[in-house]
């Protein structure tokens, strides 16, 4: 960026550049169709959707737990389900070499999926 | 024939402006008119348009040079067509959309703003505060069960996230609202990354640009807890709207 375009900068411009690089790298607008990487691209897409559903389930569960209307047994069961689900997701991310911040989708004008 | 036409911008004038600007390939930028609008174009050898940083920056600078002479709509980087006739064809096809957008951005400039916050510090502050707060459902999650322990941990994380989002919302309101009032139009995204709390673009009337920048400076001095990057003036990259353009990926 041209220096004369910067009107006010309260810190090193590198700090902002680093953050923007993070967005660019994490949220490609297209799936990588390179044959060698297509498996990872597809896994990324599928795991992003699974992660979205998992997070929604987690939110819903938190609401119910907070509401205090669950029995002891139900609390145990929800805890076990969520824990196993998160562990499984962790395993799958490791298998495909994906980081948390990579599991997102850029929906253009709508912003990011999560 | 490998020579094509590179389109840089759509202008709100049909006069043959003496732009005296060189295009990407060193050929002069000239205008091609249709009714009361025109397109700024230059010749380019087919293989000379490289998709890299230098080329993109040059493209941007060419548009900015033209912007000093008249109101324009910047055209997407790498928009190439075969001939003058095709350029005129595009002007004719999208004439109504171009005119509506040119009217909207006439006499206005775009400014970009990115705001970073110290998310770790805010997290810590919230954690200290929430440590004093009792969770209503805590009793039900007490005990030796690992699953209950897991739920308790998750519940605390959710509370923290909720508090963080609320805090972010307050900050965004504090920064964005006064700037939105000083601008004609605005667009913004919240929490683009964990650190970028606000990523905004403001379309500002030329005669109000000093008031806008001054207003922003006062704001940034008041909020020493945040880091700001205000840039501009830019061509109105973020304020061109038409479903037709998206289909054709033109602007």
ipTM (interface pTM): 0.72
Nearest to B216 among A8, A70, A76 (CB): A8
Shortest distance, CA B27 to any CA of chain A (angstroms): 23
pLDDT for B210? 95
Task: Tell me what pLDDT residue B220 has.
Answer: 93
Residue numbers in B near A76 (CB within 8 A): 145, 147-148
Q: What is the pLDDT of residue A38?
A: 77
For residue B145, which residues of chain A lie inside 8 Å, CB to CB? Answer: 76, 79
Buried b (16+ CB within 10 A) or exposed e, B130-162: eeeeeeebeebbeeebebbebbbebbbebbeee
Mean pLDDT of chain A: 80
Q: Which of A40-44, A71-75, B77-81, B181-185 has the lowest mean pLDDT?
A: A40-44
Give the nearest partner residue to B154 out of A72, A76, A82, using CB atoms. Answer: A82
Compute the nearest-CA separation of A68 from chain B (Å). Answer: 6
Judged on CB neighbours under 10 Å (0-12, 13-18, 19+), B166 is exposed
Domain boundaries, chain A: 3-110
Q: What is the pLDDT of residue B143?
A: 76
**N- to C-terminal Cα distance for chain B?**
26
* B147 inside 8 A of chain A by CB: yes
More confident residue, A97 or B250: A97
pLDDT-flagged residues of chain B (< 50):
251
**pLDDT at A1 > cutoff 60:** no
Closest CA to B10 of B71, B58, B59: B71
């Amino acid at each position: 960026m041209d220096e004369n375009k910067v009107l006010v900068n309260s810190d090193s411009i590198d700090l902002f550049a680093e953050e923007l690089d993070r967005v660019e790298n994490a949220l490609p607008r297209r799936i990588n169709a390179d044959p060698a990487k297509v498996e990872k691209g597809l896994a990324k897409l599928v795991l992003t959707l699974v992660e979205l559903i998992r997070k929604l389930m987690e939110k819903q569960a938190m609401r119910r737990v907070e509401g205090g209307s669950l029995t002891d047994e139900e609390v145990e069961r929800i805890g076990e389900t969520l824990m196993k689900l998160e562990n499984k997701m962790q395993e799958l991310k490791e298998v495909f070499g994906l980081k948390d911040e990579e599991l997102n989708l850029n929906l253009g004008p709508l912003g990011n999926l999560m | 024939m490998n020579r094509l036409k590179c389109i840089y911008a759509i202008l709100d004038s049909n006069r043959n402006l003496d732009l005296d600007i060189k295009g990407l390939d060193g050929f002069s930028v000239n205008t091609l008119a249709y009714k009361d609008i025109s397109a700024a174009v230059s010749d380019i050898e087919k293989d000379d348009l490289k998709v890299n940083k230098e080329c993109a920056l040059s493209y941007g600078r060419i548009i900015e040079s033209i912007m000093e002479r008249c109101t324009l709509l910047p055209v997407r980087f790498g928009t190439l067509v075969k001939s003058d006739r095709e350029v005129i064809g595009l002007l004719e096809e999208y004439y109504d959309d171009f005119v509506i957008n040119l009217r909207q951005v006439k006499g206005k400039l775009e400014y970009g703003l990115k705001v970073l916050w110290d998310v770790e510090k805010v997290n810590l502050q919230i954690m200290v505060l929430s440590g004093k707060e009792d969770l209503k459902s805590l009793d039900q999650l007490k005990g030796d069960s690992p699953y209950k322990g897991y739920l308790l941990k998750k519940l605390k994380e959710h509370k923290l996230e909720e508090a963080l989002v609320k805090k972010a919302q307050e900050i965004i309101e504090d920064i964005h609202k006064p700037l939105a009032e000083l601008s004609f139009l605005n667009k913004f995204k919240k929490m683009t990354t964990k650190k970028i709390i606000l990523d905004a673009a403001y379309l500002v009337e030329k005669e109000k640009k000093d008031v806008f920048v001054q207003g922003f400076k006062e704001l940034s001095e008041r909020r020493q807890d945040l880091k700001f990057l205000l840039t501009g003036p830019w061509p109105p990259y973020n304020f061109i709207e038409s479903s037709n353009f998206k289909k054709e990926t033109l602007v």
